[in-house]
Amino acid sequence: MKLFWTTLAVFVLAYTATSQAQLVWEQKHLSFKAKVDEPTLAGVYRFTNRGDYPVTIGEIKSSCGCTTTELSKRDYAPGETGEIKAVFTVGNLSGLQRKEITVHTDDPRAGKVNLKLEVDIPGLLQITPRFVFWKTGKSSRERKVMIDVTHDQPIHITEVTSTSSRITAELKTIEAGKKYEVWVKPENVDSLGKATISIKTDYPEDVPKTYKVYAAIK
């Protein structure tokens, strides 16, 4: 019996040693804190082929369209190093963003690798609520969306538009550069409908941000 367990332990250790992935990554999880006026962020995932046969990287998929990847080559010989560059577009996003990048390889030991990207984006505006709605056949009373500037310098709202002629949005300035209200009202609530309310600002100066509020009759 002792010989059996010793043999089993040796087998398990040998299997574990040979089943490890060829590609060894320096980091699989990158975290960044974006600056207020930073349009994009780039992170690099470095790896080395520690195995004894070549590995080919195939498809690389991101969980979000805001993240793209760059890879200079696909095939890596034993001992060769490489890197995948991930570019995150901040756009109109804010708060903590968690994205995943899935890397597919032809390594039979670990054909798929999940990389994680975490970006903390400081908010410029606090918008409450982000979604307003009405029920069909009920009251069509207008809804108020409150906007407070949380940045340390004034940010002005330059325009508010709606994608639907049935649902209008009117801007009211409470304190220029600091506090606003957007009043959203449906023409009627006789049938289903929806709209996206775009709130355009003057900051940053080079690429001003636009924020979204969503409205629906349901």
In angstroms, the Cα distances linking 218 to 73, 132, 138 are: 50, 11, 10
The b-or-e profile of 25-34 (16+ CB within 10 A means b, else e) is beeeebebeb
Tokens representing residue 49 in the block: 């082929």
Per-residue burial over 147-164, b if 16 or more Cβ lie within 10 Å, else e, is bebeeeeebebeebebeb
Tens digit of each residue's pLDDT (9 = 90 or more) over 94-126: 889 999 999 999 998 888 999 999 999 888 899
Residue that is written with structure tokens 């550069």 in the block = 177
| The pLDDT of residue 111 | 87
Alpha helices in the chain (DSSP H): 2-18
In sequence order, the 6+-apart residues with CB closer than 8 A to the CB of 204 are: 36, 37
Token code pair at residue 182: 């957007």
Report the C-alpha gap between 35 and 41 in whole angstroms.
9
Output the tens digit of pLDDT for each of the chain's 218 residues.
554 444 444 444 444 434 466 999 999 999 999 987 788 999 999 999 999 999 999 999 999 999 999 999 999 999 999 999 999 998 878 889 999 999 999 998 888 999 999 999 888 899 999 999 999 999 999 999 999 999 888 999 999 999 999 999 999 999 999 999 999 999 999 999 999 999 999 998 888 889 999 999 99
Query: Tens digits of per-residue pLDDT, 156-179?
Result: 999 999 999 999 999 999 999 999
Using alpha carbons, select from 141, 131, 134 the residue that is nearest to residue 193: 134
C-alpha 57/C-alpha 109 separation (Å) is 13
Rounded to whole angstroms, how far apart are CA atoms 213 and 199? Answer: 8
